[in-house]
Structure 1
Amino acid sequence: MKARKADVAKLRDLVEEILSDDKAENLVSIDLAGKTSFADYMIIASGRSSRQVVAMADHLKEGIKEAGYGAVRMEGQTGGDWILVDAGDIVVHLFRPEVRNFYNLEKIWAPDIPVEMIG
């Protein structure tokens, strides 16, 4: 069952706040409404190192659970180059900058985002 739009917006705001507090770089939030059924928003951000990327993912996991949104699933935390945090209606991709540039998810999901916003 999909969450209400207001609840999804609150979760998106929480994720953005946690990432901002953790000094995430080039944070981009992409509205996926009408583009896919797997999530309502995709959030992409970079960390300066693998250690920072792992720490951001851990803080997201804890913050989302503490806020009452339940447990999240994560993939990729072993290497820290690219971590996927699946919070249901919000999907978060955390990258080291080089890896983010290689995959360039913004170009696929939001080609109208200016290049300077993504680093």
Structure 2
Amino acid sequence: MDPIPPIRPEDGPQAPLPVGSTDLEQAILSKLDDDKAQDIVLIDLRGKSPMSDAMIVASGRSHRHVGALADHLQRLFKELGLGKIKVEGLPHCDWVLLDAGDVIVHLFRPEVRAFYNIEKIWSVDSGHRGAARAS
């Protein structure tokens, strides 16, 4: 992926960056990839929801893997100066939600992710599911 060029004041007004272009989004995606998260999906929420600009959904292989992914992201957010972020679901690690303001991260065990199917809410075709059946 090409690096994002810096925005200079003389360039005039800028269009919003494409999803996946912010430093925070890139840092989260990189950390999840480094930690072997599975089926990582980035969803652009700009114009769809006032709660956040982007949502990242990923799966861990087990309770322990989901917990480790969440822990590593919390450390990343602290390193980036985001302080204490909102976290839900850590005791069970079936579904952990991390709210970093501009980006919300959902971490699932695969069977829990398939059950809730939150990508469908935002009309995203996820690579970890087969093609939809014709009705």
Q: TM-score interval w.r.t. the shorter chain? A: 0.7 to 0.9
Unaligned ranges ≥5, structure 2 = 1-15, 130-135
Aligned length: 111
> TM-score scaled by structure 2?
0.77
Name which of 35, 46, 50 aligns with 2:63: 50
Distance 1:112 1:81, change over 3 A: closer
Name which of 111, 120, 123 aligns with 1:98: 111
Structure of greater relative contact order (alpha carbons < 8 Å, 6+ residues apart): 1
List, as ranges, runs of 4+ consecutive aligned residues in structure 1 with deviation greater than 6 Å: none
Aligned-CA RMSD value: 1.5
1: CA distance, partners of 2:53 / 2:93 = 25
Distance 1:69 1:107, change over 3 A: same
8 Å CA contact 2:38–2:58 kept in 1: the answer is yes
- Name which one, 1 or 2, has greater alpha-carbon Rg: 2
Unaligned ranges ≥5, structure 1 = none
Larger helix share, 1 or 2: 1
Distance 1:19 1:112, change over 3 A: closer
Distance 1:91 1:112, change over 3 A: closer
1:30-109 equivalences in 2 (<5 Å)? 30-109=43-122
2: CA distance, partners of 1:22 / 1:32 = 25
Name which of 98, 108, 128 aligns with 1:118: 128
